[in-house]
Amino acid sequence: MNTADFLLEHAPEDSIALAEAGREYTFEELRASVSVLMGRLSHLGLTPGTPVGILAPNGLFWTSAYLAALRMGLVVVPLAVTLPTEEVVARARWVGADALLVGRAQAAALRLSLPRSLPVVVERKERLVPKQRSTSVEPSGGVEVDPDQDALYMFTSGTTGDPRAVRITHRNIQANTTSILDYLDITSEDRMLVVLPFTYVFGLSLLHTHLRAGAAMIIQPTFVFPQAVVDRMTSERCTGFAGVPSTFGTLLRNSTFGTTAVPTLRTIQQAGGRLAPALVEQLARAQPQARVFVMYGATEATARLSYLPPEELSRRPGSIGRGIPGVDLRVLDRDGVHVAPGEVGEIWASGANISPGYLDDPEATARKMPGGMLRTGDLAKVDEDGYIYVVDRVEDFIKSREHRIASQDVESVVLDLPDIVAAAAVGLPDDDAGERLELVVVRRRGSGLRVADVIAHCREQLSKHMVPEVVRIVDALPFNASGKVIKQDVRAMCLRLAEGLSGAGDCIAGVDDDSGGGVKVS
């Protein structure tokens, strides 16, 4: 089955599909909008299998463009609106996109940089939903596709290196959507507040699961004002919310979300990196009426790989749970043997949701997905019951003298401090130690927390070799479009500050050091 048909198969016509900018759209209106865009795309003479880019914010246009392209058998290339124009053009060219579907706000700047030979379909919101309903606006059945045909070229988040385009097939999407719905009780009565972009695999999985369940998506266009997000969640009577660690760090410590329950909220999804156990515990206490699902995934896995049942949160702090239905999740040593409980190995995954590989990169495909299994690059332990605990990314381990330090262990301890919103521990080149541990933190608004307070807490809670040598307080950490910390950019920031380069302190709120360059721990 074509994935567009799969996603809309059970959606009731008169139920709300999404709400944006003060207006709600039913599934009937969404289908009509899909038909309109299919008509516009059909004039371009595109053949099935042709890549087309989508550059627009979350909303009716993005959703309609996505479904229209899938229904026509085209390969969708989601492009983040936060990308510089030259990067959008470079990615579109690299994947061989033969057309772009572009939001109105992005169209003007983009047209100046695009070659005239590349057709652009620009959003016309007033024409997306025809005023007169008729059978002519009902979309025809989707193009028949091979389940293993590419449906998406999804760029990785790029938190640890240059992004790649991951090939996601129709089978991948349908398998992962079905698996997620097997453990998340989403119904047509649900209303999900969406802050994650659909260009991010976690955000896109929200679109997939809620379309398939016939549930409503309430589009929140910005996360700049966290209290406004909480207010919208309440006023829209939202039953679901999903975010990455930075989302919940901000909500819990810079809004009333951590102190006032949202009565209608019944499901919270967290993925996109490890949320410190202290924040998970605070989240569960803050919204006791909601079930909190801690999940783990990867772009190469379409979205989800594991989840921790809410009833296990307090029993297994820090765990990502076990494989979701249809996924075989293993923690293996260097010889490919299952590790014993308490030992460290790499997480490997297999299942119908695993990508067939990277676009035009057979070497990386063979290295990352040998034999159809996915090497996640995450090191982890298992307990006696098979529950998995991520230790750190392979590349984020800090090698200082004779020690190997997991950056996530340091970050979790620091986030026990209620005035810390976000933290990143990184290793910097050091002549004596090989790498020195540096810590960069963001304080809660209005906090008087000092570097000395952070250092004292670290000395009290961490082994001596895990206490950061340098602590810096900054206004913001570098995040990608998905809200995930970009560790390589944190390292670059620390190096600039250490070298005292001009402009390096723009984001610094210096406290104990007049230069704003942080404080060395002695």
* pLDDT on residue 125: 63
Q: What are phi and psi of 345, to 5 degrees?
A: -150, -175
Instruction: In whole angstroms, give the CA distance from residue 325 to residue 103.
Output: 36
pLDDT one digit per residue (tens) for the chain, 522 residues:
999 999 999 999 999 999 998 899 999 999 999 999 999 999 999 999 999 999 999 999 999 999 999 999 999 999 999 888 888 988 999 999 999 999 999 998 887 777 777 899 999 865 677 665 544 444 556 799 999 999 999 998 554 446 689 999 999 999 999 999 999 999 999 999 999 999 999 999 999 999 999 999 999 999 989 999 999 999 999 999 999 999 999 999 999 999 999 999 999 999 998 898 999 999 999 999 999 999 999 999 999 999 999 999 999 999 999 999 999 999 999 999 999 999 999 999 999 999 999 999 999 999 999 999 999 999 999 999 999 999 988 788 888 877 788 888 899 999 999 999 999 999 888 877 788 999 999 999 999 999 999 999 999 999 888 999 999 999 999 988 878 888 889 989 998 887 764 343 333 333 333 233 454 443
Instruction: In whole angstroms, give the CA distance from residue 397 to residue 401.
Output: 13
Burial 178-201 (b: 16+ CB within 10 A, else e): bbbbeebebeeebbbbbbbbbbbb
Q: How many CA atoms lie within 13 A of 296 on its CB side?
A: 31
* pLDDT on residue 502: 35
Long-range contacts of 446-453 (CB under 8 A, 24+ apart): 447/419, 449/417, 449/419, 449/420, 449/473, 450/511, 450/512, 451/511, 451/512, 451/513, 451/518, 451/519, 452/512, 452/519, 453/417
The β-bridge relationship of strands 216-219 and 16-20 is parallel
Torsion angle (degrees, nearest 10) of CA 208, 212, 215, 217 = 20
* pLDDT on residue 517: 45
Helix (H, G, I), strand (E, B), or coil: what is residue 165?
strand
Which residues pair with residue 19 across a beta bridge?
24, 218
DSSP class of residue 370? G
Task: For each of the domains in the chain, give its residue range(s) and CATH number, in order of start.
Answer: 1-145 (3.40.50.980), 183-344+364-395 (3.40.50.12780), 397-520 (3.30.300.30)
Question: How is the chain split among helix, strand and coil, in percent rounded to 5?
Answer: 35, 25, 40
* pLDDT on residue 162: 63
* pLDDT on residue 130: 64
* pLDDT on residue 497: 82
DSSP-derived secondary structure for 306-349: EEE-GGGTTTSTT--BEEPTTEEEEEE-TTSPBPPTT--EEEEE
